[in-house]
Structure 1
Amino acid sequence: MRIVVLDDYQRVARDYAPFDSLPGADVEVLHEHLAEPDDLVAALRGADVVAAMRERTPFPAELFRRLPDLRLLITTGMANASIDLDAARAHGVTVCGTSLSGSASSSNTTELTWALILAVQRHVAAEDRALRDGRWQTTVGTDLNGTTLGVLGLGRLGTQVARIGQAFDMRVVAWSQNLTPERAAEAGATYVSKDELFAESDVLTIHLKLSERTAGSVGASELGLMKPSAVLINTSRGPIVDRDALVRALTTGAIAGAGLDVFDVEPLPAGDPLRGAPNTVLLPHLGYVTDRTYQVMYQQIVEDVLAWRDGTPVRVLT
């Protein structure tokens, strides 16, 4: 049985996954992302099992057609919009996932959201660079106390973020398409309209699931409503925000800054204009990248293989 593990950027998959419990398995771990379909097909040719990291590698119908030996596809997480599940079924491929408990799966992204908020408002990255270059106190930070936190998407993760905002004595407002005033109040937030959310927020943080409905939810018109002193935080998915509109808003000073952990294309290409946008803190999609999450994900990858091999697959998505 040939197993290929994709996108082990940190070269830690073999440390976390007990591959030794898979007797007779030939396990290959790839460390570089393969964005070109031909390169991906060449690397996966002959593989019975593929383990994909999050939504990084699309598996459309055409890819399943070109991988006739593939029988089990494992995705980290229990949902993956980049996998054509209907095509997987049609080609006889079982798709399984990995899971964390609800609180554990969202707390790591919640923590990173606040790391970005604080880093942007207190210019952490800029001051670190300045100090290393021999300069001392080059910026003036912005207080959170008494300001307004806007939460776009008040689900489980957005609710956690909102509660931490209250601990900073921030006024918390929220909006999403199906949110009600009663549900917002339960999370300690005030329900406002979408326009009010963008106009009133000093910090606007995004916690929507990416879908056809939410893609492009934050565009030029929404950014145009924001205060020049406001900042945007996105730890959700890149395409929810119109990248070009965000770059213009940052470059012209229409908003004060942004903290981003997600992008339209990942890894972020060298020529992407966000790399040169002012007053930004950019992270390489680290929201889920923690020791606890990796322990669970990689161990469950092996569990998925063992269960599938024994004819009793678990955490099945197809």
Structure 2
Amino acid sequence: MRIVVLDDYQNVARTFGPFDRLGAEVTVRSEHVGDVDQLITALRGVDVVVAMRERTPFGAAQFSRLPDLKLLVTTGMVNASIDLEAAAAHGVTVCGTEGAPGPSKATAELTWALILAVLRHVPEENRALRAGQWQTTVGTGVAGSTLGLAGLGRLGSQVARVGRAFDMDVIAWSENLTAARASEVGVRAVSKEELLTNADVLSVHLRLSDRTAGLFGAAELALMKPTAVLINTSRGPIVDEKALVAALHAGALGGAGLDVYDTEPLPPHHPLLAAPRTVLLPHLGYVTAQTYAHWYPQLVENIEAWSAGTPIRVMS
């Protein structure tokens, strides 16, 4: 059995996952393979592929050119980059990993790291101090300001609780959000327009879909306060990148903290890299030692169970 682990950017798969006990040929690739032809070449003759979240797409075009592929295992039980119908049509079993209470809070924690880093100019002050300067910016506190949440699911609710602990006024909107649900979390449900016009910090916690792609474009960003900051730890395409870059350069927004992008890894010389008042992270929301220590052993378990003819955690 040949196994390839894809997109192990930090080269830690063998550290967190007991792949040695599989007794198989395991190849770990730390570089991202974005080109489809190069991906097919890298996976030719491979029986099992381990995919990390939504880093590498697998659709009909990939499955049809990988006749030896029989098992695709991915972190998480939802991966929008995998076409499950196409996998089934080509006889490929797809298995995922289950979440855990601790690791599931990792993205919410990073959301607050971004909020505070943007508002208190943490990266700038760090660079200035190392260059021999002292107190070069004036930060903005969060107490008494308004935290606006686009989405009040599991992650949005976690972020809301921290906002309340910081004595912020927390408001939320999504297409299906009810006043009763918002009240359960201790926040106020508002309209989309109210969310945009009132938020001092707007944090996005929605799933990417046809309905949410481009949800925050030029018109929506224009409704926000020029001092407001936008935080996105959800999915890049929910926010129009071109509109966001334009708003930042025009001084129409106070700043942005981003962990997700339309294209990942973010290409060199991307316009966001030169946009002012930004803190940019390489999709680290779920990347913690606790999360990896939970996911990677399950990936190995999935391979073992499938090899024994009793696959577990099968995605459908």
TM-score (norm 1): 0.98
Match of 1:8 in 2: 8
Separation in 1 of the partners of 2:104 and 2:157? 10
Match of 1:168 in 2: 166
Identity of aligned residues (%): 66
Separation in 1 of the partners of 2:195 and 2:31? 40
Task: Give CA-to-partner distance per residue, 1:164-220, whole Å, 9 cap, x none.
Answer: 000000000000000001111111111110000000000000000111111111111
Match of 1:266 in 2: 264
Separation in 2 of the partners of 1:111 and 1:20? 33
Counterpart mapping for 1:26-175 below 5 A: 26-101=25-100, 103-175=101-173
Aligned residues: 316
Equivalent AA in structure 1 for residue 16 of structure 2: Y
Separation in 1 of the partners of 2:58 and 2:66? 10
**Unaligned stretches of 5+ in structure 2?**
none
Counterpart mapping for 1:116-265 below 5 A: 116-265=114-263
Separation in 1 of the partners of 2:193 and 2:118? 23
Q: Which secondary structure state, in structure 2, belongs to the residue aligned with residue 232 of structure 1?
A: strand
Match of 1:275 in 2: 273
**TM superposition shift of 1:271:** 1.9
**Unaligned stretches of 5+ in structure 1?**
none
Separation in 2 of the partners of 1:238 and 1:291? 24
Separation in 2 of the partners of 1:273 and 1:20? 42
Separation in 2 of the partners of 1:106 and 1:287? 10
Separation in 2 of the partners of 1:221 and 1:281? 23
Consecutive aligned runs of 4 or more in structure 1 exceeding 2 Å deviation? 103-106
**TM superposition shift of 1:105:** 4.2
Task: Give CA-to-partner distance per residue, 1:270-295, whole Å, 9 cap, x none.
Answer: 02100000000000000000011101
Separation in 1 of the partners of 2:54 and 2:64? 19
**TM superposition shift of 1:229:** 0.6
**TM superposition shift of 1:304:** 0.4
Task: Give CA-to-partner distance per residue, 1:222-253, whole Å, 9 cap, x none.
Answer: 10000011000000000000000000111101
Equivalent AA in structure 2 for residue 209 of structure 1: R
Q: Which secondary structure state, in structure 1, belongs to the residue aligned with residue 80 of structure 2?
A: coil
Q: Which secondary structure state, in structure 2, belongs to the residue aligned with residue 41 of structure 1?
A: helix
RMSD, aligned α-carbons: 0.7
Separation in 1 of the partners of 2:83 and 2:70? 14
Q: Which secondary structure state, in structure 1, belongs to the residue aligned with residue 73 of structure 2?
A: strand
Q: Which secondary structure state, in structure 1, belongs to the residue aligned with residue 49 of structure 2?
A: strand
Separation in 2 of the partners of 1:87 and 1:105? 30
Q: Which secondary structure state, in structure 1, belongs to the residue aligned with residue 50 of structure 2?
A: strand
Q: Which secondary structure state, in structure 2, belongs to the residue aligned with residue 249 of structure 1?
A: helix
Task: Give CA-to-partner distance per residue, 1:85-104, whole Å, 9 cap, x none.
Answer: 11100000000001113x33
Separation in 1 of the partners of 2:103 and 2:78? 13
Q: Which secondary structure state, in structure 2, belongs to the residue aligned with residue 50 of structure 1?
A: strand
Contact 2:103 2:290 in 1 (8 A): no
Separation in 2 of the partners of 1:201 and 1:50? 43
**TM superposition shift of 1:106:** 2.9
Separation in 2 of the partners of 1:147 and 1:19? 48
Equivalent AA in structure 1 for residue 77 of structure 2: M
Equivalent AA in structure 2 for residue 265 of structure 1: T
Match of 1:300 in 2: 298
Separation in 2 of the partners of 1:131 and 1:164? 29
